[in-house]
Amino acid sequence: MYRILVVDDEEAIRNGLTEYLEFMDYEVVQASDGMEAIKLCKEQDFDAIVMDVMMPKIDGFTAIKEIKKEKDIPTLMLSARSEEYDKLHGFDLGIDDYVTKPFSLKEVAARLNVIIGRHKASTSATEEIIDGKPHERYVFDGLEIDMTARSVKINNEEVSLTPKEYELLFYLVENKGIALTRESILSKVWGYDFYGDDRTVDTHIKTLRNALGEYKDKIVTLRGTGYRFDA
């Protein structure tokens, strides 16, 4: 069971999120402001944080900055403001996702599932220390995906991919076993300011599969939803 820290100065929002997340089989701890959240994160471990931006005493951005000095906890920010600056500032601090109020409880739960899964997947990667730096690489039978070296090999033969195909494959692998919608792929790989449509994802998935050859079936199509990388 995943432990979630819900931080918001509005009691109704905290209670609503807590009730729904507990129904979805999460264990939930509440905090009413940023200072309380920092204290709780020092004392306890959490699988993810849902953090409001605008709060008294310490705002959500400042709280996350302090928490990340101690622990790397996946974070979903909540805000009544949708300005691009707020989103970019949050991502610069290392948050994983951003939801604008009013929000759907179902969407928050779905986004939490994705960022927790992505975090678990990335920490389970093979990691070596080379010249004092972490070297991250995934191996699936004869398919080797080296994130640090930005290379892909099939049966020890280098595979040539376009820059966007590398980013797409890395994003799928980092979230292996997790259903990813076309919309989430577009926003994470192409960016929030990209004005393309779902066909952009489908086209790149097709060329990526061709490049992966015998391992093309690792990328599974989820009809009506998107794609999943099967490990």
Among 215, 185, 218, residue whose Cα is nearest residue 199: 185
**Residue 105 one-letter amino acid:** L
Domain end among 69, 96, 122: 122
Residue 129 pLDDT: 43
pLDDT in tens, 90-131: 777 778 888 888 888 988 988 888 888 777 655 544 444 444
The yes-or-no verdict on residue 33 having pLDDT over 70 is: yes
Same domain, 160 and 211: yes
Same domain, 96 and 175: no
CATH number at 52 reads: 3.40.50.2300
Phi-psi region of 92 (alpha: psi -120 to 50; beta: other; left: phi over 0): alpha
Q: Which residue segment(s) compose the domain that 222 sits in?
A: 125-229
Separation CA 177–CA 114 (nearest Å): 10
Domain count, the chain: 2
**pLDDT band for position 207 (cuts 50, 70, 90):** very high
Same domain, 9 and 22: yes
Domain end among 122, 146, 170: 122
Same domain, 55 and 100: yes
Phi-psi region of 155 (alpha: psi -120 to 50; beta: other; left: phi over 0): left
Domain end among 73, 106, 122: 122
Separation CA 191–CA 174 (nearest Å): 17
Same domain, 116 and 7: yes
Same domain, 143 and 190: yes
CATH number at 178 reads: 1.10.10.10
The yes-or-no verdict on residue 65 having pLDDT over 60 is: yes
Same domain, 117 and 166: no
What's the pTM? 0.54
Same domain, 81 and 62: yes
Same domain, 80 and 143: no
Residue 137 backbone dihedrals phi, psi, to 5 degrees: -150, 145
Same domain, 116 and 156: no
Same domain, 150 and 201: yes
- What is the mean pLDDT of the segment spanning 171-196? 80
Same domain, 26 and 59: yes
